[in-house]
Amino acid sequence: MLIHLRTLGCRLNEAELETWAQSFQQAGHQISPQLEQADIIIINSCTVTQEAARKSRQLIRRLHHQNPTAKLVVSGCYATLNKSEATQIMGVDLVISNSDKSQLVEKTLSQLNFAAMPTMSTEAGEHSLFTRGRQRAFVKIQDGCRYRCTFCIVTVARGVEISRPIEAIINEINNLHQQGIHEVILTGVHLGGYGTEINLNLSTLIRKILQQTTIPRLRLGSLEPWDLPSDFFSLFENSRLMPHLHLPLQSGCDSVLKRMARRCNTQEFAKIVAKARQQIAGFNLTTDIIVGFPGETEAEWQQSFEFIKQIGFGDLHIFSYSHREGTKAATLANPVCKSIKKQRSKQLHELAIIMKQQFIQTQLNKKFSILWETPREDLTTGERLILGYTPNYLRVASKDNLENTISLVRLKTATKTYIEISES
């Protein structure tokens, strides 16, 4: 049978999608990038915001409309928190909650009725990532979170913390590398909490990966700033660990951070950033910011804005606060009106563009090794371009046919969407 996989939301969802893809292949089925040809459609849904939940519902309906004969299986955070609603959406044949995700392939094949089943398993020779037009692999190292930031519904949907054994993670990375993958990104709901319940930590895991694999490039997903072990930044002395971190700040105002139940204030955050920049060459820092959290006054907003500008991030992921039933933030007084959230978001997006360009300017005329990824068409010129990323996560473009190779280039000039290169 042909399996078509789709995901919304976080990198963890993407990592889970890849695990399912491998399992379907091992069971004798094929991964298809073509929706219309699929016998089974798998959707890994998201509900981090109301908009994400809406997009999940919209995606389910659209895919069913485009291929009404395929069996439709929905999993993920939206399906977990809204199982009854998801089950009733037209076309949905099976809803699998997060707690049963590890059995998704088995449940799909056993609970849905199919006219034909494979007679033998196949080797995963053609990696499903390549089938889906991707060259970097997301590797799930843990799930769940022990903390309860007041705005977060994901911790409710994902449950308690569970860490994967180091051996299983290393085996997966080695298998990915043998199949042609050159870069993996470690992901989890609470990445920095890795190993807490099995007497390990993230630094130990990274060290073991660097010792026991030869994967050329290793990245980290979103990492809470209060989780970093004391020896963490020394790990970046190994050039295979990419010099980019996404440390969610959420607000640059301490009183707002307190209402969010965050465990790192602005002074602590600034010290962490200063230490990283001192110890990691070419370090690029990106972050998440929530605009218009309940009770955010104009003075708090200005304080937050100035702190963000002072830190100087390489990029921002900006979210207008979304009311989520089941979170403590949903009960807080003095919600910020939509027009103010829109105004503050616009102001922050303008700052984000400036900060990103400032960082890019410091990197031009330097040489970097680039992992070239997916070809795309330049919307302005119509030219076919291959896109890739520098180790510190700047997007670059080339006109050469370099897909899934690593080459050394010099950064030349920056456009709005990518950086052009010159010969090394």
- Cα angle 24, 28, 34 (rounded to 5 degrees) comes to 60
* Domain locations in the chain as residue ranges: 2-111, 135-234, 243-362, 367-422
* Mean pLDDT of each 10-residue bin along the chain, 424 residues long: 90 89 88 91 92 93 95 95 94 94 93 60 48 76 92 86 95 92 94 92 96 97 90 96 97 98 96 96 96 98 98 96 92 96 97 96 95 81 87 93 90 86 68
Which pLDDT belongs to residue 376? 81
Which pLDDT belongs to residue 383? 82
The fold for domain 243-362 equals Transcription Regulator spoIIAA (3.30.750)
Number of Cβ within a 10 Å radius of residue 117: 10
Which pLDDT belongs to residue 134? 65
Which pLDDT belongs to residue 123? 43
Which pLDDT belongs to residue 133? 57
What residues does 162 pair with on adjacent strands?
143
Which pLDDT belongs to residue 108? 94
The yes-or-no answer to whether 135-234 and 243-362 have a common fold is yes
CATH classification (class only), 135-234: alpha beta
The fold for domain 2-111 equals Rossmann fold (3.40.50)
Which pLDDT belongs to residue 378? 75
Which pLDDT belongs to residue 227? 87
